[in-house]
Amino acid sequence: MDLPDLPVRTIVATPARAGRRVGRLLRMLAAGCLTAVLLGAVPLANWAASDDRLAELSSVQQVTTALKNATESLGLAEPYVWIRRQARALQHLRFGPPEDQQ
C-alpha cells in the first residue's frame, strides 16, 4: 500500500536562504494586500440599486408569468415551479437576495 508519487512531492524546490524567502514573501503579501485594498475601494456600479435592475426584474417577471400561464394552460404545474426557481436563482446570483431576506 505504498503512497502514490504525487506531483506535490516533486515540485520545484531549490536551496534557499531563509532571509531571502521571508523578504520575498513579505513583498508579495504587501503587493497582494495593496491590490485588494485598491480594487476594493473602486466605486463599482451598484446593480441592485440601479434602474436597470428594475427593468431586468420586470422582464424576468414578464417572461416567468408568460411561462406560468403557458404551462398551466397545458395542465403542467411542475415545470413552472422549476422555471420560477431558475428565475429566482438567476436573480439571486445577479443581484443578491431580496431585501426582505437580508
Partner 1 sequence: MLFPTTAFLIFFVAVTIGLATLQRSYEAQKIWLVAASYFFYAQWNWRFCFLLAFSSTVTYIAGLALERVRTQRSRKRVVAATVTVHLLTLGFFKYFDFFVESGNGLLRALGVPEALPFIEVILPVGISFFTFHGISYVVDVYRGDVAVCRRLTDMLLYLAFFPQLVAGPIVRAAKFLPQLYRRPERDFGLAWPLALIVGGLFKKVVMANFLATGLVDPIFDDPIHYGTPDLLLGIYGYAVQIYCDFSAYTDIAIGIAALLGFEFPPNFNQPYRASSLRDFWRRWHISLSSWLRDYLYKPLGGSRGGALFTARNLMVTMLLGGIWHGAAWKFVFWGVLHGLGLGVERILFGRGHAEPRGWAKGVSTIVVFHFVCFGWLFFRADSFDTAWLYLQMMAQGSPSLVQATPFTIGLIVLGMALQFAPPDMHRRVAAWVLAWPEWALGAASGTLVLAIDAVGPDGVAPFIYFQF
Residue 40 Cβ vs partner 1, minimum distance, rounded to whole Å: 6
Residue 41 Cβ vs partner 1, minimum distance, rounded to whole Å: 11
> Residues 6 or more apart from 67 whose CB is under 8 A from it?
80, 83
Q: Are 71 and 80 in contact (CB under 8 A)?
A: yes
Phi, psi dihedral angles at 14 (to 5 degrees):
-120, 155
Residue position matching grid coordinates 394552460: 73
Q: Which 13-42 positions form the footprint of partner 1 (CB under 8 A)?
A: 13-16, 18-19, 21-36, 39-40
Contacts with partner 1, residue ranges (CB under 8 A): 1, 3-4, 6-9, 11-16, 18-19, 21-36, 39-40, 78, 81-82, 85-86, 89, 93, 96
